[in-house]
Amino acid sequence: MSRRIAYQGIPGAFSHIAATAYFGNNHQFTGLPAFFDIFTQVEKAQFDYGVIPIENNLAGSVVENYDLLFAHNVTVIGEYYQPVRHNLLVIKQPQNKPTIELKHLKKVCSHPKALEQCTQFFRKHPHITPVVFNDTAEAAYHVASEKKKDTAAIASKEAAEMYGLDILAHHIQDNPNNWTRFLIITSIHREQDILAHDTMYKSSIMFTLPHKPGSLHTIIGIFANAHLNLSKIESRPIHGTTFEYIFCIDIEFHSHDYALIRDLIQQCTEMTNDIKVLGYYRKAHIKK
């Protein structure tokens, strides 16, 4: 069955690549301009699923999406790790024209995080000015449309193929070990058939706590005493308060501990001001 799937950006963006890798190509993929649009439209069931980045191992958490997860009535049903490989894309030259070289470039366009992750490239080529775009694929589309040989984009090889650009330099990011973790969200609230699968899972929960010493330690201790690993702890300010926070934790557990994890989360409910279970989903693995 074909599904309606939303992602941020345009075709060729890393969010689009992650979405097609997770679901396969036989679905309807739609790029939206902002993360907020994904959440609101998935919540209204205008899309079956949304694919959102939640953290990068170099740039850190996408804090906006943590806030949106807490604010919107959606469920996390999966995760996916997308390798991020930044390439330098330029317009194709006719056969009788000389190949574009680095010395010809004056501007390189991309998303601000992509530009940050290619700092060494800009240090080696100080004559090139970085230019900020909303999305890596949008930058590639701009270069293809403008057709200027002094302007390049930093984007994926898929973006190069989609917009008819040449790759002048491969993998120009500072660190080759660059991964983004994506979450799959939906408005359909249903229990996962966890007990049918003998594998590792995660549960993500968000909560607020009484503003007193030891309250976070108590919550973490519940899972530590059960010998469960917390693979992520994130905090976000509560809007309208002074130095009070929403906490998000990812708990790893085996499928046979599903009943246990639900009981432990129930214990947390009794010790928190507010708690939201984002979902139970299979743990993904980085495929190197």
CATH code, 2: 3.40.190.10
- Residue 195 belongs to domain with CATH number: 3.30.70.260
- For residue 237, the tally of other CB atoms under 10 A from its CB is 13
Concerning whether 218 is annotated as a catalytic residue, the answer is no
Please list the residues that pair with 31 across neighbouring strands.
Answer: 7
113, 238: one domain: no
The residue range of the domain holding 95 is 87-169
Q: Are residues 198 and 288 in the same domain?
A: yes
Same domain, 184 and 214: no
**Same-domain check for residues 28 and 143:** no
Could you give the CA distance from residue 75 to residue 43 in angstroms, rounded to a whole number?
9
Whether residues 9 and 110 share a domain: the answer is no
Contact indicator for 87, 140 with CB cutoff of 8 Å: no
HEC string of 112-149 equals HHHHHCCHHHHHHCCCCEEEECCCHHHHHHHHHHHCCC
Same domain, 195 and 286: yes
- DSSP run (H or E) holding 183: strand 179-186
Nearest residue to 155 via CA among 117, 104, 181, 105 = 117
Output the tens digit of pLDDT for each of the chain's 288 residues: 889 999 999 999 999 999 999 999 999 999 999 999 999 999 999 999 999 999 999 888 999 999 999 999 999 999 999 999 999 999 998 876 777 899 999 999 999 999 999 999 999 999 999 999 999 999 999 999 999 999 999 999 999 999 999 999 999 999 999 999 999 999 977 656 666 677 899 999 999 998 888 899 999 999 999 999 999 999 999 888 888 899 999 999 999 999 999 999 999 999 999 999 999 999 999 887
Q: Which of 182, 207, 247, 253 is catalytic?
A: 182
The pair of three-digit structure tokens given for residue 201, joined into one six-digit string = 């899972």
Catalytic residue among 20, 180, 208, 272: 180
- Structurally, the chain folds into a number of domains equal to 3
Among 111, 137, 169, identify where a domain stops.
169
Q: Are residues 183 and 49 in the same domain?
A: yes
Reply yes or no on whether 30 is catalytic.
no
Please tell me whether residues 199 and 213 are part of one structural domain.
Answer: yes
pTM, two decimals, is 0.93
